[in-house]
Amino acid sequence: MYDDKKRFVYQMKTRVRYSEVDQKGNLTIVAMINYLQDCSSFHSDSIGYGLDYLSERGLGWFITNWQIHVHALPRYGDEIVISTWAQEFKGILAHRNFAIDDADGTRLMESKSLWVLMDLNAGCPARIPKEIIRDYGIGEDLPGQWGGRKVALFDQDSFTTQEHSVEVMPVHLDTNRHMNNAYYIEFARDVLPKDKKVFGIRTEYRKAAQLGDMIRIRIAEQDDATQVLLEDADGAIFAIVEFLLG
């Protein structure tokens, strides 16, 4: 990154744990997402805008979009570095980037994400305070090809419904009392062929799933992309998760 941008990057070093790998010893997709979320939370803590700050003011960050490029998954015991930085603030929206590198500096994955600051008491978006924008700073953009905020849905007739639904349990909830962002992707990943590798993920969150909600899962394929819809009983979409598989 450019020298004048490096000071806005927060980094977290860790080692891949046994509880975070799949049957082949690779880091799971949901563990990868949790690393990104944890890194962003620790970043906020480090500059004074963490959970305590948000809770005292009745605020919460809600993600609306993930875009993730996976080059390689680290394995059990590997040392990795997770990096995050703010790229842009605009009105009620915050753009946050991520990267995961191995111990030698080889890039394993990179991600763009879009967040909204919510007033939890009023149930509506809140304008991001100037001091937050000042203290996070503005880092550089990520190179490469990235999609827009919205995921274009495949034709509805191409989707098939899975036989089972998933109930949102207490273990799935985060501090905002909604289902943690990673579980949407985990539930979607669970219906994909197990022998396929994930090289890309795009997720558009439309509606927060809450305790007791039943999530219906539908899936469709088009060219090299697979879309998974997570819906409520009436067909309202919680999230659209699109995978590039290989």
26, 32 in Cβ contact below 8 A?
no
DSSP 155: P
pLDDT given for residue 2 in this prediction = 38
Q: 3-state class of 22 per DSSP?
A: coil
Query: Which of 1 and 223 is assigned the larger pLDDT?
Result: 223
Which residues partner with 22 through β-bridges? none
pLDDT given for residue 195 in this prediction = 85
User: Is pLDDT at 5 greater than 70 in this prediction?
Assistant: no
Helix ranges (DSSP H) in 77-226: 130-136, 181-189
Q: How confident is the model over 103-115, as pLDDT tens digits?
A: 999 999 999 999 9
Q: How confident is the model over 11-20, as pLDDT tens digits?
A: 999 999 999 9
User: Is pLDDT at 1 greater than 60 in this prediction?
Assistant: no
User: Is pLDDT at 6 greater than 80 in this prediction?
Assistant: no
Query: How many Cβ atoms sit within 10 Å of the Cβ of residue 192?
Result: 17
Q: Residue 163 — very low, low, confident or very high, per pLDDT cuts 50/70/90? A: confident
Q: What are the b/e assignments for 101-133, b being 16+ CB within 10 Å?
A: beeeeeebbbbbbbbbbbebeeeeebebeeebe
User: Is pLDDT at 199 greater than 70 in this prediction?
Assistant: yes
As a whole-number percent, the residues of the chain with pLDDT over 70 amount to 98
pLDDT given for residue 217 in this prediction = 97
pLDDT given for residue 224 in this prediction = 87
Q: 3-state class of 74 per DSSP?
A: coil
Q: How confident is the model over 61-115, as pLDDT tens digits?
A: 999 999 999 999 999 999 999 999 999 999 889 999 999 999 999 999 999 999 9
The rounded distance, in Å, linking the Cα atoms of 82 and 20 is 15
